[in-house]
A = this chain, B = another copy of it.
């Protein structure tokens, strides 16, 4: 692998295992992994209140706010963007969500990944993971979370969430499983940087 910084952004459907895949890929590459922990870094960076920021992570602003003042979502987005862009200047990393492909578009050359899976597979994963006993409850939670992520992404990005235009590679994680998908993404990084 060359000296170039390896930056991988991962967008993901809820329940597709995208977060776990990102974490394992970071371990395998030996680089840092960023997810929700970016909120703390953004709070520190911006001086904003951590508890307020935490409640708006990956959510678009409510339509019922003044269009003239930046919302908490906007402030968090800006603070996270600055933190992510600064990280890209100094290290290799894997990051999930947070519109990171859009944020890094101009200032770095990330590998942009999107992970998805059939709804029935995601329902099973969410039921197991969060000990939910009803498939219907899991299904609703998946649709609700995806809707929030889609809204956040499309509020801040010019692309549509999960649409090929915004990504270099898109994978159905149910085909190779979590570890197989990690291995393939590792191969992708290797092919790009070899």
Contacts and interface: CB of A to CB of B under 8 A. Distances in A.
A175 interface: yes
Interface residues of A, number: 20
A129 interface: no
Contact of A188 (B111, B114, B168, B176): B176
Nearest to A166: B172
Interface string A179-193: 010011001100110
A183 B101 CA distance: 25
Contacts of A111: 175
A162 B160 CA distance: 13
A164 B170 CA distance: 8
Given A164-B172, A172-B167, A172-B168, A188 B192 contact: no
B192 A180 contact: yes
A171 interface: yes
A34 interface: no
A152 interface: no
A33 interface: no
A169 interface: yes
Nearest to A162: B164
B164 A168 contact: no
Contacts of A172: 164, 167-169
